[in-house]
Structure 1
Protein backbone atom coordinates (compact mmCIF):
# COMPACT_ATOMS: atom_id res chain seq x y z
CA UNK A 1 0.00 0.00 0.00
CA UNK A 2 1.38 3.39 -0.97
CA UNK A 3 1.61 6.13 1.63
CA UNK A 4 0.63 8.84 -0.81
CA UNK A 5 -2.64 8.91 -2.73
CA UNK A 6 -2.51 12.36 -4.33
CA UNK A 7 -6.20 12.79 -3.42
CA UNK A 8 -5.31 15.61 -1.03
CA UNK A 9 -3.38 17.61 -3.57
CA UNK A 10 -6.43 19.82 -4.05
CA UNK A 11 -6.42 20.84 -0.37
CA UNK A 12 -9.12 18.41 0.74
CA UNK A 13 -9.11 15.29 2.89
CA UNK A 14 -11.49 12.39 3.47
CA UNK A 15 -13.53 12.05 6.62
CA UNK A 16 -13.59 8.67 8.34
CA UNK A 17 -17.20 7.97 7.36
CA UNK A 18 -16.80 9.30 3.83
CA UNK A 19 -17.08 12.68 2.23
CA UNK A 20 -14.36 15.27 1.73
CA UNK A 21 -13.64 18.57 3.46
CA UNK A 22 -11.00 21.27 3.13
CA UNK A 23 -7.86 20.59 5.14
CA UNK A 24 -8.45 23.75 7.17
CA UNK A 25 -11.98 22.67 8.13
CA UNK A 26 -12.81 23.02 11.85
CA UNK A 27 -13.18 19.25 12.13
CA UNK A 28 -9.73 18.64 10.62
CA UNK A 29 -8.21 21.31 12.88
CA UNK A 30 -9.71 19.55 15.91
CA UNK A 31 -8.56 16.02 15.13
CA UNK A 32 -5.26 17.28 13.74
CA UNK A 33 -4.48 18.95 17.06
CA UNK A 34 -5.41 15.72 18.85
CA UNK A 35 -2.91 13.94 16.57
CA UNK A 36 -0.25 16.51 17.49
CA UNK A 37 -0.95 15.85 21.17
CA UNK A 38 -0.61 12.12 20.59
CA UNK A 39 2.80 12.65 18.96
CA UNK A 40 4.04 14.66 21.94
CA UNK A 41 2.87 11.87 24.23
CA UNK A 42 4.99 9.52 22.13
CA UNK A 43 7.99 11.66 23.11
CA UNK A 44 6.86 11.50 26.75
CA UNK A 45 6.86 7.69 26.61
CA UNK A 46 10.23 7.66 24.86
CA UNK A 47 11.95 9.68 27.60
CA UNK A 48 10.07 8.36 30.64
CA UNK A 49 11.65 5.65 32.72
CA UNK A 50 8.60 5.37 34.98
CA UNK A 51 6.49 2.31 34.19
CA UNK A 52 3.33 3.74 35.76
CA UNK A 53 3.51 6.98 33.75
CA UNK A 54 4.29 5.03 30.57
CA UNK A 55 1.31 2.74 31.10
CA UNK A 56 -1.05 5.69 31.62
CA UNK A 57 0.35 7.58 28.62
CA UNK A 58 0.05 4.55 26.35
CA UNK A 59 -3.57 4.11 27.38
CA UNK A 60 -4.19 7.82 26.76
CA UNK A 61 -2.62 7.49 23.31
CA UNK A 62 -5.10 4.73 22.50
CA UNK A 63 -7.94 6.94 23.75
CA UNK A 64 -6.66 9.72 21.49
CA UNK A 65 -6.99 7.47 18.44
CA UNK A 66 -10.62 6.85 19.44
CA UNK A 67 -11.05 10.60 19.98
CA UNK A 68 -9.59 11.38 16.56
CA UNK A 69 -11.90 8.88 14.88
CA UNK A 70 -14.85 10.27 16.85
CA UNK A 71 -14.01 13.79 15.66
CA UNK A 72 -13.38 12.62 12.08
CA UNK A 73 -16.83 11.05 11.91
CA UNK A 74 -19.81 13.42 11.90
CA UNK A 75 -21.93 12.65 14.96
CA UNK A 76 -25.06 11.84 13.00
CA UNK A 77 -23.22 9.09 11.11
CA UNK A 78 -23.72 5.72 12.73
CA UNK A 79 -20.50 3.86 12.13
CA UNK A 80 -20.22 0.67 14.15
CA UNK A 81 -16.43 0.65 13.69
CA UNK A 82 -16.09 3.91 15.65
CA UNK A 83 -15.68 3.74 19.41
CA UNK A 84 -17.02 7.08 20.58
CA UNK A 85 -15.65 8.68 23.75
CA UNK A 86 -17.95 7.67 26.62
CA UNK A 87 -18.70 8.94 30.11
CA UNK A 88 -16.76 5.96 31.49
CA UNK A 89 -13.66 7.24 29.67
CA UNK A 90 -14.00 10.63 31.37
CA UNK A 91 -14.43 8.87 34.72
CA UNK A 92 -11.27 6.82 34.17
CA UNK A 93 -9.29 10.03 33.59
CA UNK A 94 -10.78 11.42 36.81
CA UNK A 95 -9.71 8.31 38.75
CA UNK A 96 -6.14 8.67 37.48
CA UNK A 97 -6.13 12.34 38.51
CA UNK A 98 -7.43 11.52 41.98
CA UNK A 99 -4.96 8.65 42.51
CA UNK A 100 -1.90 10.66 41.46
CA UNK A 101 -2.99 13.88 43.15
CA UNK A 102 -3.07 12.08 46.50
CA UNK A 103 0.71 11.58 46.18
CA UNK A 104 1.41 15.28 45.63
CA UNK A 105 1.69 18.20 47.99
CA UNK A 106 -1.45 20.35 47.83
CA UNK A 107 -1.07 23.14 45.32
CA UNK A 108 -1.21 26.60 46.92
CA UNK A 109 0.36 28.64 44.12
CA UNK A 110 0.53 28.69 40.36
CA UNK A 111 3.63 26.91 39.15
CA UNK A 112 5.86 27.51 36.16
CA UNK A 113 5.93 24.77 33.53
CA UNK A 114 9.20 22.89 33.69
CA UNK A 115 11.38 20.90 36.00
CA UNK A 116 12.59 17.62 34.58
CA UNK A 117 12.64 16.96 30.85
CA UNK A 118 9.74 14.55 31.31
CA UNK A 119 7.69 17.09 33.28
CA UNK A 120 8.46 19.77 30.68
CA UNK A 121 7.13 17.58 27.86
CA UNK A 122 4.05 16.73 29.94
CA UNK A 123 3.44 20.48 30.36
CA UNK A 124 3.86 20.92 26.60
CA UNK A 125 1.35 18.12 26.05
CA UNK A 126 -1.03 19.85 28.48
CA UNK A 127 -0.90 23.09 26.51
CA UNK A 128 -1.47 21.30 23.20
CA UNK A 129 -4.36 19.48 24.87
CA UNK A 130 -5.84 22.87 25.82
CA UNK A 131 -5.44 24.01 22.20
CA UNK A 132 -7.21 20.85 21.05
CA UNK A 133 -9.98 21.67 23.50
CA UNK A 134 -10.34 25.17 22.00
CA UNK A 135 -10.49 23.70 18.48
CA UNK A 136 -13.08 21.15 19.61
CA UNK A 137 -15.23 23.84 21.26
CA UNK A 138 -15.02 25.87 18.02
CA UNK A 139 -16.16 22.79 16.07
CA UNK A 140 -18.97 22.12 18.56
CA UNK A 141 -20.36 25.61 17.97
CA UNK A 142 -20.72 24.79 14.27
CA UNK A 143 -21.58 21.09 14.22
CA UNK A 144 -23.04 18.54 16.59
CA UNK A 145 -20.35 16.43 18.27
CA UNK A 146 -20.31 13.76 20.95
CA UNK A 147 -21.12 15.49 24.26
CA UNK A 148 -18.43 13.52 26.13
CA UNK A 149 -15.55 14.85 24.03
CA UNK A 150 -15.15 18.27 25.68
CA UNK A 151 -15.25 16.90 29.26
CA UNK A 152 -12.77 14.18 28.24
CA UNK A 153 -10.26 16.65 26.79
CA UNK A 154 -10.76 19.05 29.70
CA UNK A 155 -9.97 16.28 32.22
CA UNK A 156 -7.09 15.06 30.11
CA UNK A 157 -5.32 18.41 30.35
CA UNK A 158 -5.79 18.25 34.14
CA UNK A 159 -4.30 14.75 34.16
CA UNK A 160 -1.29 15.91 32.15
CA UNK A 161 -0.75 18.72 34.67
CA UNK A 162 -0.87 16.29 37.59
CA UNK A 163 1.45 13.88 35.76
CA UNK A 164 3.94 16.71 35.16
CA UNK A 165 3.98 17.49 38.87
CA UNK A 166 4.31 13.78 39.66
CA UNK A 167 7.21 13.41 37.21
CA UNK A 168 9.02 16.18 39.07
CA UNK A 169 8.23 14.62 42.44
CA UNK A 170 9.61 11.18 41.56
CA UNK A 171 12.87 12.85 40.47
CA UNK A 172 12.95 15.06 43.60
CA UNK A 173 12.70 18.23 41.51
CA UNK A 174 10.48 20.85 43.19
CA UNK A 175 7.81 22.70 41.27
CA UNK A 176 8.81 26.33 40.74
CA UNK A 177 6.22 28.72 42.11
CA UNK A 178 5.11 31.65 40.01
CA UNK A 179 6.26 34.79 41.78
CA UNK A 180 4.00 37.17 39.85
Structure 2
Protein backbone atom coordinates (compact mmCIF):
# COMPACT_ATOMS: atom_id res chain seq x y z
CA UNK A 1 0.00 0.00 0.00
CA UNK A 2 1.24 3.50 -0.78
CA UNK A 3 1.66 6.01 2.03
CA UNK A 4 -1.14 8.19 0.64
CA UNK A 5 -3.47 5.28 1.50
CA UNK A 6 -2.54 5.53 5.19
CA UNK A 7 -2.86 7.96 8.05
CA UNK A 8 -1.66 8.21 11.64
CA UNK A 9 -3.65 7.74 14.82
CA UNK A 10 -2.83 9.79 17.95
CA UNK A 11 -0.37 7.12 19.07
CA UNK A 12 1.39 7.52 15.68
CA UNK A 13 0.26 4.07 14.56
CA UNK A 14 0.02 4.10 10.77
CA UNK A 15 -3.30 2.67 9.58
CA UNK A 16 -5.18 2.34 6.32
CA UNK A 17 -7.51 5.24 5.55
CA UNK A 18 -10.39 2.76 5.45
CA UNK A 19 -9.60 1.50 8.96
CA UNK A 20 -12.75 1.37 11.07
CA UNK A 21 -11.34 3.99 13.46
CA UNK A 22 -10.74 6.39 10.58
CA UNK A 23 -14.25 5.73 9.25
CA UNK A 24 -15.69 6.48 12.70
CA UNK A 25 -13.68 9.65 13.29
CA UNK A 26 -14.52 10.81 9.78
CA UNK A 27 -18.24 10.42 10.51
CA UNK A 28 -17.80 12.26 13.82
CA UNK A 29 -15.96 15.09 12.04
CA UNK A 30 -18.64 15.28 9.36
CA UNK A 31 -21.41 15.37 11.97
CA UNK A 32 -19.52 18.10 13.81
CA UNK A 33 -19.35 20.17 10.62
CA UNK A 34 -23.12 19.90 10.11
CA UNK A 35 -23.73 20.73 13.76
CA UNK A 36 -21.56 23.81 13.27
CA UNK A 37 -23.53 24.76 10.17
CA UNK A 38 -26.80 24.37 12.09
CA UNK A 39 -25.37 26.55 14.86
CA UNK A 40 -24.75 29.38 12.39
CA UNK A 41 -28.33 29.24 11.10
CA UNK A 42 -30.38 28.81 14.26
CA UNK A 43 -31.94 31.87 15.88
CA UNK A 44 -32.47 30.46 19.38
CA UNK A 45 -29.47 31.46 21.52
CA UNK A 46 -30.00 28.58 23.98
CA UNK A 47 -30.01 26.00 21.18
CA UNK A 48 -26.95 27.64 19.64
CA UNK A 49 -25.13 27.31 22.99
CA UNK A 50 -26.11 23.64 23.28
CA UNK A 51 -24.81 23.00 19.75
CA UNK A 52 -21.55 24.78 20.61
CA UNK A 53 -21.08 22.59 23.69
CA UNK A 54 -21.88 19.50 21.61
CA UNK A 55 -19.18 20.53 19.13
CA UNK A 56 -16.59 20.70 21.92
CA UNK A 57 -17.58 17.20 23.01
CA UNK A 58 -17.43 15.94 19.42
CA UNK A 59 -13.71 16.70 19.46
CA UNK A 60 -13.40 14.56 22.58
CA UNK A 61 -15.36 11.79 20.89
CA UNK A 62 -13.04 11.92 17.89
CA UNK A 63 -9.98 11.89 20.12
CA UNK A 64 -11.30 8.82 21.92
CA UNK A 65 -11.85 6.96 18.66
CA UNK A 66 -8.29 7.50 17.43
CA UNK A 67 -6.56 6.81 20.74
CA UNK A 68 -6.19 10.31 22.15
CA UNK A 69 -6.31 11.19 25.83
CA UNK A 70 -9.64 13.01 25.70
CA UNK A 71 -12.85 11.00 25.84
CA UNK A 72 -16.56 11.20 26.44
CA UNK A 73 -17.20 10.55 30.13
CA UNK A 74 -20.20 9.42 32.14
CA UNK A 75 -20.52 13.06 33.28
CA UNK A 76 -20.74 14.16 29.61
CA UNK A 77 -23.45 11.57 29.05
CA UNK A 78 -25.37 12.69 32.15
CA UNK A 79 -25.16 16.32 31.05
CA UNK A 80 -26.53 15.39 27.62
CA UNK A 81 -29.31 13.34 29.20
CA UNK A 82 -30.31 16.32 31.36
CA UNK A 83 -30.57 18.53 28.27
CA UNK A 84 -32.66 15.83 26.56
CA UNK A 85 -35.00 15.59 29.58
CA UNK A 86 -35.53 19.35 29.60
CA UNK A 87 -36.18 19.48 25.87
CA UNK A 88 -38.61 16.54 26.02
CA UNK A 89 -40.75 18.67 28.34
CA UNK A 90 -40.65 21.64 25.97
CA UNK A 91 -41.49 20.20 22.56
CA UNK A 92 -44.75 19.02 21.12
CA UNK A 93 -44.36 15.46 19.84
CA UNK A 94 -46.02 14.62 16.54
CA UNK A 95 -48.76 12.00 16.51
CA UNK A 96 -47.67 10.48 13.20
CA UNK A 97 -44.71 10.32 10.87
CA UNK A 98 -43.69 13.80 9.77
CA UNK A 99 -41.40 15.42 7.23
CA UNK A 100 -38.58 16.68 9.42
CA UNK A 101 -37.11 19.11 6.90
CA UNK A 102 -39.42 22.15 6.78
CA UNK A 103 -36.80 24.88 6.42
CA UNK A 104 -33.05 25.34 6.20
CA UNK A 105 -32.46 25.00 9.96
CA UNK A 106 -34.49 21.81 10.35
CA UNK A 107 -32.90 20.38 7.19
CA UNK A 108 -29.35 20.99 8.44
CA UNK A 109 -30.22 19.55 11.86
CA UNK A 110 -31.71 16.52 10.09
CA UNK A 111 -28.52 15.95 8.09
CA UNK A 112 -26.46 16.33 11.28
CA UNK A 113 -28.69 13.76 12.98
CA UNK A 114 -28.26 11.32 10.11
CA UNK A 115 -24.48 11.64 10.19
CA UNK A 116 -24.41 11.21 13.99
CA UNK A 117 -26.39 8.01 13.52
CA UNK A 118 -23.78 6.78 11.02
CA UNK A 119 -21.01 7.68 13.47
CA UNK A 120 -22.87 5.73 16.16
CA UNK A 121 -23.01 2.64 13.92
CA UNK A 122 -19.26 2.88 13.29
CA UNK A 123 -18.56 3.34 17.00
CA UNK A 124 -20.70 0.29 17.85
CA UNK A 125 -18.29 -1.74 15.70
CA UNK A 126 -15.35 -0.22 17.57
CA UNK A 127 -17.02 -1.09 20.88
CA UNK A 128 -17.53 -4.69 19.76
CA UNK A 129 -13.83 -4.83 18.94
CA UNK A 130 -12.85 -3.47 22.37
CA UNK A 131 -11.52 -0.16 21.01
CA UNK A 132 -13.90 2.23 22.83
CA UNK A 133 -16.14 2.01 25.87
CA UNK A 134 -19.91 1.89 25.72
CA UNK A 135 -20.34 5.42 27.09
CA UNK A 136 -19.37 6.81 23.68
CA UNK A 137 -22.01 4.67 21.98
CA UNK A 138 -24.65 5.89 24.44
CA UNK A 139 -23.58 9.53 24.05
CA UNK A 140 -23.86 9.41 20.25
CA UNK A 141 -27.23 7.67 20.52
CA UNK A 142 -28.60 10.38 22.79
CA UNK A 143 -27.03 13.09 20.65
CA UNK A 144 -29.01 11.94 17.61
CA UNK A 145 -32.16 12.05 19.75
CA UNK A 146 -31.26 15.55 20.98
CA UNK A 147 -30.93 16.71 17.38
CA UNK A 148 -34.39 15.26 16.67
CA UNK A 149 -35.76 17.20 19.64
CA UNK A 150 -34.12 20.36 18.31
CA UNK A 151 -35.85 19.82 14.97
CA UNK A 152 -39.16 19.57 16.80
CA UNK A 153 -38.30 22.68 18.81
CA UNK A 154 -37.59 24.82 15.75
CA UNK A 155 -40.78 23.58 14.09
CA UNK A 156 -42.82 24.77 17.13
CA UNK A 157 -45.54 22.14 16.70
CA UNK A 158 -46.18 22.89 13.03
CA UNK A 159 -45.55 19.54 11.37
CA UNK A 160 -46.13 18.19 7.90
CA UNK A 161 -47.62 14.73 8.43
CA UNK A 162 -46.78 11.88 6.08
CA UNK A 163 -49.72 9.98 4.62
CA UNK A 164 -48.78 6.31 4.33
Q: Same fold (TM over 0.5)?
A: yes
Cα-to-partner distance string for 1:80-128 (whole Å, 9 max, x where unaligned): xx22211111111111111112111233222222112111111111111
Q: Distance in 2 between matches of 1:150 and 1:51?
A: 28
Cα-to-partner distance string for 1:124-164 (whole Å, 9 max, x where unaligned): 11111111111111222334312211000000000000001
RMSD of the TM alignment (CA)? 1.6
Aligned partner (choices 112, 116, 126) of residue 103 of structure 2: 116
Alpha carbons 1:15, 1:72 under 8 Å: kept: yes
Indicate the residue corresponding to 1:3 in structure 2: none
Structure 1 gaps of 5+ residues are 1-7, 74-78
Indicate the residue corresponding to 2:129 in structure 1: 142
Aligned partner (choices 32, 35, 46) of residue 38 of structure 1: 32
Indicate the residue corresponding to 1:177 in structure 2: 161
Indicate the residue corresponding to 2:48 in structure 1: 54
Q: Distance in 1 between matches of 2:159 and 2:66?
A: 37
Q: Over alpha carbons, which structure has the higher Rg? A: 1
Structure 2 gaps of 5+ residues are none
Matches within 5 A, 1:77-96: 82-96=69-83
TM-score by length of 1: 0.85
- 1:106 to 2:100 alignment: no
Q: Distance in 1 between matches of 2:131 and 2:31?
A: 23
Where 1:21 maps in the other structure, the secondary structure is strand
When the two structures are aligned, how many residues end up with a matched partner? 163
Alpha carbons 1:115, 1:174 under 8 Å: kept: no
Aligned partner (choices 112, 117, 127) of residue 125 of structure 1: 112
Q: Which of the two has greater helix per residue?
A: 2
Alpha carbons 2:127, 2:134 under 8 Å: kept: no
